């Protein structure tokens, strides 16, 4: 009963063995995967994977680092595709990424706002990317009421995590929690209610220890479950079951 709440199996990193990797999920206990768009040219790939694999769902949206060429017309196209496909269950990943200088902060905030407006119109959960942009992300989400979803690849303090939970969001935890230097995330996991955590890979990125630096995939979530169980002093079965139920709830899917 593992639900990978955030993956990128459309990535070229899987071009040589995508079918083989995905065929290995069920034997490893991975029963559902949310495959998430980032670039404009990934939208059609996301839809194709949801149509090919019964256990893969999709999220459509444009990553902040890829939003420079975005237009209102393209947002209308995304909206049309969301409405046309029942297995598209979220809008994402969207947000802010100030790690690199481009696109500018103003461009990123413009399209973050626009995509949040669309999520509210469609009554869909969002998948939020926020890197080196804690204050602006919080301010923008606070201004957009009645929207919930996942704070993906959470990297801020436990206080910020709990503030997001108070706003109705849940926290995405992946391979980084197994890193020795991930003290902030480990403290956040300890502080969070278990039912406010969802499991993710962000594959092919962010593989957990001892595979750090290698290609990631959903089978490695088992190591994330073990780490969360250890940090919270509970059985791994409780982590797996609770996080599965939470992810189904966020994406409006039956358990």
Q: pLDDT digit string (tens) for 44-102?
A: 999 999 999 999 999 999 999 999 999 999 999 999 999 999 999 999 999 999 999 99
200, 228 Cβ separation under 8 angstroms:
no
Name residues whose C-beta falls within 8 Å of residue 182's C-beta, 6 or more positions apart in sequence.
Answer: 176
Domain ranges of the chain: 2-250
CATH topology of domain 2-250: TIM Barrel (3.20.20)
Q: Which two tokens stand for residue 125?
A: 């959960």
Residue 191 confidence class, pLDDT cut points 50, 70, 90: very high
Give the span between the Cα atoms of 91 and 247, in whole angstroms: 15
Give the span between the Cα atoms of 197 and 161, in whole angstroms: 10
Position 234 scores a pLDDT of 98
pTM for the structure as a whole: 0.97
From the list 56, 62, 59, 64, the residue with the least C-alpha distance to 82 is 59
Residue 30 confidence class, pLDDT cut points 50, 70, 90: very high
From the list 2, 59, 10, the residue with the least C-alpha distance to 203 is 10
């Amino acid at each position: 009963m593992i639900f990978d709440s955030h993956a990128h199996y459309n990535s070229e990193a899987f071009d040589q063995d995508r079918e083989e990797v995905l065929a290995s999920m069920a034997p490893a206990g991975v029963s559902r995967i949310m495959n998430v768009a980032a670039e404009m040219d990934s939208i059609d790939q996301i839809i194709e994977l949801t149509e090919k694999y019964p256990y893969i769902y999709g999220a459509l949206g444009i990553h902040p680092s890829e939003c420079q060429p975005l237009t209102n017309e393209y947002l209308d196209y995304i909206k049309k595709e969301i409405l046309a496909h029942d297995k598209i269950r979220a809008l994402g990943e969207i947000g802010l990424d100030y790690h690199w200088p481009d696109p500018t902060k103003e461009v990123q905030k413009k399209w973050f706002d626009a995509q949040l407006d669309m999520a509210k119109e469609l009554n869909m959960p969002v998948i939020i990317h926020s890197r080196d942009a804690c204050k602006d992300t919080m301010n923008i989400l606070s201004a957009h009421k009645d929207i919930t979803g996942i704070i993906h690849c959470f990297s801020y303090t436990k206080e910020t995590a709990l503030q997001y939970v108070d706003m109705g969001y849940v926290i995405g935890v992946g391979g980084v929690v197994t890193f020795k230097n991930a003290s902030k995330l480990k403290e956040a996991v300890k502080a969070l209610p278990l039912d406010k955590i969802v499991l993710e890979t962000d594959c092919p990125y962010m593989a957990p220890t001892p595979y750090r630096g290698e290609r990631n995939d959903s089978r490695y979530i088992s190591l994330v479950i073990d780490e969360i169980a250890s940090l919270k002093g509970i059985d791994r079965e409780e982590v797996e079951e609770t996080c599965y139920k939470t992810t189904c709830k966020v994406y409006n899917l039956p358990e």
